[in-house]
Amino acid sequence: MRSAFSIVYGNPRLRVSALGIFFFGFTGAATSPYYSLIGIHELGLSNAAFAAIVFCAAVVNVTASVTAGILADRLGRFRPPMLAICLSGMAGYLLVYLFPTVAVFTLASLVLIPVFGALNSLIFAYVRVSSEALAPRDMVAVNSAIRAVISASWVLVPGLVGYALAGSSSMLPAFLLAGLACGVCFLLFAKLVGRETSDRGARQEQSYAFLASLKRLGFSEVWPHLIAIALITSMLHVNAAVLPLIVTGQAGGRPADVGTVVGIVALLEMVFIVVWSWIEVRTSSVRAIAASAVVYSFYLLLLGLVRDTTSVYLLTLVSGLGAAGIISIPITYLQNLIARRAGLGSSLIAVNIFLSGGLSAIMFSLGTSVSGYAGTSMLGAAAGLLGVLVLVLLPRGQTDTH
């Protein structure tokens, strides 16, 4: 197997995908740490209103991702939906920066920015089409390399933005930076993405119509796999919710420790993603996903038991190892559920994010009402192990190929 990064560098389509995914990651890494701060503290939204916006935005994002995937498959082209999505993100972030009001923030957060989030699935669909000539193991490695680029943006950008805004009375300039990153994405895709991505051209068959495509998402062969992966990836959401609370609570740490831990884990993910790619091509995606999920379940169990910050820092090695597999390996696995439809198959990445986020919200509500943050962390571990059990019991080789 050739080096994944050498494959990406040597292929112009994959190169632009890597650049695009970096600047896509830039937008989230620049704004996510300050999103609730701006919405609630600076603009005056209530906690309930902000939570409602977050939920509705997730619905819009998954809807936009599926729609964009279907459109790209039908057109046989990725450039038009990519450009439209970049414009949506640019408008959303810049409007919030230029007109920081509750109404504008709500509009951007409910529509424009969630639509931009569909770019993630669309780029991976473009990578899928651009990798068709590669051997299966090289295709797996390329997906892992592209996903590692997102982790790179999360390693570099939050610290740089935090440094740039140090001492500022407002975090709104983070939205300006995100808007500019969307503009970079637009220019990249406008200049470097070809007008045709494959020999297929536009597909006018009935099976490529919107409603027919939606029906494919309801295939009984697809959903058991989706649920298994969602249970596994829900552990990442549970950790994102409880880690800051455990670190600053029972572990006796400071808010600064949370940022440091997250940064260390993101850095480790970049390394371990390559390791998991190597493991996956020598075993199978199911075994690799299961192994990484077991590792992360072990981490969440231990996180619920920590009593000092030293233990939390020691756990970053386990967390980074498990998380790297969970965030990278399922990408190809999900795409293969609808293997011949790059756009629709890749939209399952967004569907999985939505499902896993919903599952984690239920677990957080249940866990905190019964046993506190430590118990919630352990509940997340149990959900991940349940996902592993479902995954390994599912029949092999029943992905859709039509």
Among residues 9, 17, 3, the alpha carbon closest in space to that of 130 is found at 17
Strand pairing partners for 400?
338
Q: How many CA atoms lie within 13 A of 243 on its CB side?
A: 22
> What's the pLDDT at 195?
62
DSSP class of residue 341 equals: -
> What's the pLDDT at 54?
85
User: Does 1-211 match 218-395 in CATH topology?
Assistant: yes
DSSP per-residue string spanning 260-286: HHHHHHHHHHHHHHHHHHHHHHHS-HH
The pTM assigned to this predicted structure is 0.84
> What's the pLDDT at 205?
59
CB 334 within 8 A of CB 64: no
What gap in Å lies between CA 96 and CA 151, rounded to an integer?
26
Residue ranges, the chain, pLDDT below 70:
1-2, 195-214, 218-220, 396-402
CB 85 within 8 A of CB 138: no
Tokens standing for residue 255: 């808010």
Domain range 218-395, CATH class? mainly alpha
Domain boundary assignment for the chain:
1-211, 218-395
Backbone angles phi, psi at 238, to 5 degrees: -60, -45
CB 121 within 8 A of CB 63: no
> What's the pLDDT at 401?
39
What gap in Å lies between CA 80 and CA 173, rounded to an integer?
29
For 241-266, the pLDDT digits (tens) are 888 889 888 888 887 787 788 888 98
CB 51 within 8 A of CB 164: no
Tokens standing for residue 49: 């209103």
Helix 309-335 to helix 342-370 angle (10° resolution) is 150
1-211: CATH topology is Growth Hormone; Chain: A; (1.20.1250)
Q: For the chain, give percent helix, strand, coil, nearest 5.
A: 80, 0, 20
What gap in Å lies between CA 272 and CA 258, rounded to an integer?
21
* SS3 label, residue 400: strand
Among residues 386, 275, 350, the alpha carbon closest in space to that of 114 is found at 350
Among residues 275, 315, 270, the alpha carbon closest in space to that of 291 is found at 275
* SS3 label, residue 124: helix
Residue 63's CB: how many other CB atoms inside 10 A? 16
